[in-house]
Structure 1
Amino acid sequence: MEQQSFPKLRQDLCQVCALLYQRGYVASNDGNVSVRAGEGQILVTPSGVSKGRLTPDMLVLCDLEGRVLEGNRHPSSETPMHLLLYRERPDVGAVVHAHPAAATAFAACRRPLDVPYLTEVVSGLGPIPVAPYALPSTPEVPESIRPFVRDHKGVLLANHGALTWGSDLWSAFDRMEQLEHTAKIYCNIALLGDGVPLNEQQVAAIQALEGRYRALAGKRDKEEANG
């Protein structure tokens, strides 16, 4: 059998897909996942394969124009959506698209997750907007998310699902998990009917604290790198 490139990345991507399937964030052939693989290349899930049965040899290696470099399957029809993120955000290393039930319900209602009810959302996930409806698997989809990719960590796709991104596969997956967890909590808040959002001063204080933590972490990483 021919040796495939990026074996560790392939294994990690399949593990992320298996978790998406096990947690009910995707069903059947739903969803797609990609990761940067070297300069100007990505590994992406193929069309027509359940994420619960994906194996490393099924993944497709593409360039940033979507041309297949390695693999005998068709890349996901939503690959252009992933490619837009990689072109617009050099810091993004992986992208996850899924249909988790609660988050997708918000997408179908075209209701953003942007009310600051939770400290963890303010300091971590941030507000999640809703992109306008776009016909799946068409150029409308990447254009619909373009306004949101610079300043957010994820977006709801109207009447479709959810999209998150991060510096690597696990951060992109973690954000999808946090997005769905947040959507479930916001559903319960809506049922109770009297949620109290954080005020502007409280939000600002959380953001300032988070900024200090990031600065300290950056300083520590620099010191460790310098020995």
Structure 2
Amino acid sequence: MRNIHQLKQEICDIGRRIYQKGFAAANDGNISYRISEKEVLCTPTMISKGFMKPEDLCIVDMEGKQISGRRKRTSEIMLHLAIMKARPEIKAVVHCHPPHATAFGIAREPVPQCVLPEVEIFLGDVPITKYAIPGGQEFADTILPFVHKTNVIILANHGTVSFGETVEKAYWWTEVLDAYCRILMLSRSLGRVNYFTEPEARALLDLKTKWGFADPRTEMKNCDICANDVFRASWKESGVAPLAFTPPSAKKEGDGAASAESSPAAPGDGRDSVETLVESITTRVIEALNRGGVEVV
């Protein structure tokens, strides 16, 4: 077993990172590490993750009962334990509220695939759970349909949870996901998102396999590797549907990169109407001010 004090310090360090990144406002978020077959080290409730000290942390058993610690354990520990029970090789779990990834969970917008190489290799398809009130077993169980096929999950109308063999690696998947979601939003605001062709996407899957990262798409028959096929069956129950991004079917080589159905505003579309309305209101305000003796230039 690793040195407990060192593990506590690592958890505090990651807590500071998620706080500084804006992933955990006030007392949001929680972190855990499995220190033995029956014991889990975790963060306490009602404390800023940016200002924790090693002595603030708690130890619970695998049923969530607190064994030690001067502060009360996190109220969301059952989420962590559900992951550890389902996947015994998992040592660390990080739950927080990264704003861009959380926005996808609020919109129930599936995270597009086949856009960035790093995301294809490190994340793959990212599921969105159905909503449940945080804290209880029902909430914890929302991750069970997905936990064996991914290391990061978006919790509907809540945040994210990621997991791995170390606290830092568990945190990495959240950081990669939120950066990706932000890039997607920025790209979409510029007009369009270009996707990989099928040969490009398959080359990345081959590289992922070579590097030892599992991906469910490699085992699925008739899988459209760029269309979120891995977790599509869960969409109806979770209320997930693509609205902001329309993933294309993977294009064959020579077809050119596919792009989301988004382009700069054309005359007569919704955005043009909004601009016309704003211009009209501005003109009327200026006219009213001028009538009142206030000259607007």
Alignment TM-score, normalising by the size of structure 1: 0.88
Deviation at 1:84, TM superposition (A): 0.3
Structure-2 residue corresponding to 1:221: none
Query: Any conservation in 2 of the 1:112–1:156 contact (CA below 8 Å)?
Result: no
Structure-2 residue corresponding to 1:90: 88
Secondary structure of the residue aligned to 2:212 is helix
1:17-50 residue CA offsets vs partner (Å, 9 max, x unmatched): 0111111111100011111112321111111111
CA distance in 2, matches of 1:118, 1:173: 19
Structure-2 residue corresponding to 1:32: 30
CA distance in 2, matches of 1:19, 1:115: 27
Structure-1 residue corresponding to 2:141: 143
Deviates more, 1:80-89 or 1:101-110: 101-110
CA distance in 2, matches of 1:63, 1:208: 40
Asked if 1:165 corresponds to 2:163, the answer is yes
CA distance in 2, matches of 1:92, 1:58: 23
CA distance in 2, matches of 1:114, 1:96: 23
Structure-2 residue corresponding to 1:60: 58
Structure-2 residue corresponding to 1:19: 17
Deviation at 1:190, TM superposition (A): 2.0
Letter in structure 2 aligned against 1:182:
Y
Structure-1 residue corresponding to 2:73: 75
Letter in structure 1 aligned against 2:43:
T
Structure-1 residue corresponding to 2:152: 154
Structure-1 residue corresponding to 2:174: 176
1:49-88 residue CA offsets vs partner (Å, 9 max, x unmatched): 1111111111111111111121122211110000000000
Structure-1 residue corresponding to 2:272: none
Query: Any conservation in 2 of the 1:131–1:144 contact (CA below 8 Å)?
Result: yes
Structure-2 residue corresponding to 1:127: 125
Deviation at 1:163, TM superposition (A): 1.0
> Greater relative contact order: 1 or 2 (C-alpha under 8 angstroms, separation 6 or more)?
1
Question: Which structure 2 residue ranges, 5 or more long, are not aligned?
Answer: 214-297
Secondary structure of the residue aligned to 1:116 is coil
Question: Which structure 1 residue ranges, 5 or more long, are not aligned?
Answer: 216-227
Letter in structure 2 aligned against 1:129:
P
Structure-1 residue corresponding to 2:115: 117
| 1:186-225 mapped onto 2 (5 Å cutoff) | 186-214=184-212
Alignment TM-score, normalising by the size of structure 2: 0.68
Choose which of 44, 47, 53 in structure 2 pairs with 1:46: 44
Identity of aligned residues (%): 35
CA distance in 1, matches of 2:96, 2:188: 23
Secondary structure of the residue aligned to 1:97 is strand
Secondary structure of the residue aligned to 1:178 is helix
Deviation at 1:146, TM superposition (A): 0.9
Secondary structure of the residue aligned to 1:51 is coil
Query: Any conservation in 1 of the 2:114–2:196 contact (CA below 8 Å)?
Result: yes
Secondary structure of the residue aligned to 1:150 is coil
Letter in structure 1 aligned against 2:67:
L
CA distance in 2, matches of 1:81, 1:199: 37
CA distance in 2, matches of 1:59, 1:51: 11
Structure whose CA Rg is larger: 2
> Which structure has greater helix proportion?
1
Query: Any conservation in 2 of the 1:126–1:153 contact (CA below 8 Å)?
Result: no
